[in-house]
Amino acid sequence: MKKILLLIISLCLGFVLSEAKDIKISVTPSDAKIYIDGNYVGDGVTTASLKKKDGFLVVKFERDGYVTTEVRVFASDKRTAFSYTMRKDEFFNVSAPSGLVNKYFSVTVSKDLYTVDENGKKNSELAWKLIHQILLNYFDEIQTTDFASGFIQTPWQYETFPAADKQMRTRVSVKESNLGGDLTFQIKVSSEVAPLMASQNDESFQEIDRIAKDFEPIISEFQSRLGKL
């Protein structure tokens, strides 16, 4: 009886194994990461096994500069090799990496742009005018100007990238500071991205360490035109 049971089990296992097939999956570019059913399996090329006629694998490809791609590979497909070419992400062509976005950086103001009276009080009117000039080179308007508290902020400016299914928004905040007795401004360029269909007020927007190329020069412009040489 045991021999018969073992024979039946062996036949069943043999049937299951005979139904399984190995599938080669490759992607261009060759250093793109491959995930199968949510698990990272390698870069560029991998081999997977499908064990059910009606089963499928969820395959995802990821690489910076390309649109993340997700496909399903069905066991019913008679092919044993699949090759995919990822599409370049338009968003990476119109934005640049930056280590200064989404955090305040300091600019010590050139002494040509402010005066100090005998009581040590600073007159920073020229510096504030220059800040307005710089901001209006990139934004149509300034949302908040409060000289009393030393604060300026622009509204969000939106750009859409339909081919990448993304929208990006940028805003600049400036606040006056006095570090070590010098006139100093703390400047923050906020950069966030969300899916194209998200509302402009939606919480889908997330900070990103990239800046739209249209805004990329604003950081160096603040540093060179406002900063102390």
Closest listed residue to residue 190, CA positions, set 171, 165, 209, 212: 171
- Mean predicted lDDT score pLDDT of the chain: 87
**Rounded distance, CA 44 to CA 52, Å?**
25
Per-domain boundaries in the chain: 21-88, 93-226
pLDDT over 60 at 2, yes or no: no
CA-CA-CA-CA torsion sign (22, 28, 29, 30): positive
CATH architecture observed for domain 93-226: 2-Layer Sandwich (3.30)
pLDDT over 80 at 54, yes or no: no
Confidence tier at 3 by pLDDT (50, 70, 90): low
pLDDT over 90 at 34, yes or no: yes
Helices (H), the chain: 2-19, 90-93, 125-136, 217-221
Q: Is 193 exposed, middle or buried (0-12, 13-18, 19+ CB in 10 A)?
A: buried
pLDDT tens, residue by residue, 177-188: 876 678 899 999
How confident is the model at residue 11, as a pLDDT? 47
How confident is the model at residue 138, as a pLDDT? 96
pLDDT tens, residue by residue, 79-119: 899 999 998 888 888 899 999 999 999 999 998 998 888 77
How confident is the model at residue 64, as a pLDDT? 85
The listed range with the strongest mean pLDDT (67-76, 156-165, 215-224) is 215-224
pLDDT over 90 at 61, yes or no: yes
How confident is the model at residue 124, as a pLDDT? 87
How confident is the model at residue 13, as a pLDDT? 47
How confident is the model at residue 229, as a pLDDT? 52
How confident is the model at residue 202, as a pLDDT? 77
Q: Return the CATH superfamily for domain 21-88.
A: Carboxypeptidase-like, regulatory domain (2.60.40.1120)
How confident is the model at residue 15, as a pLDDT? 44
How confident is the model at residue 19, as a pLDDT? 67
Q: Helix, strand, or coil here: 7?
A: helix
pLDDT tens, residue by residue, 195-205: 988 887 778 99
How confident is the model at residue 119, as a pLDDT? 77
pLDDT tens, residue by residue, 107-161: 999 989 988 887 778 888 899 999 999 999 999 999 998 888 889 999 999 998 8
**Rounded distance, CA 27 to CA 32, Å?**
7
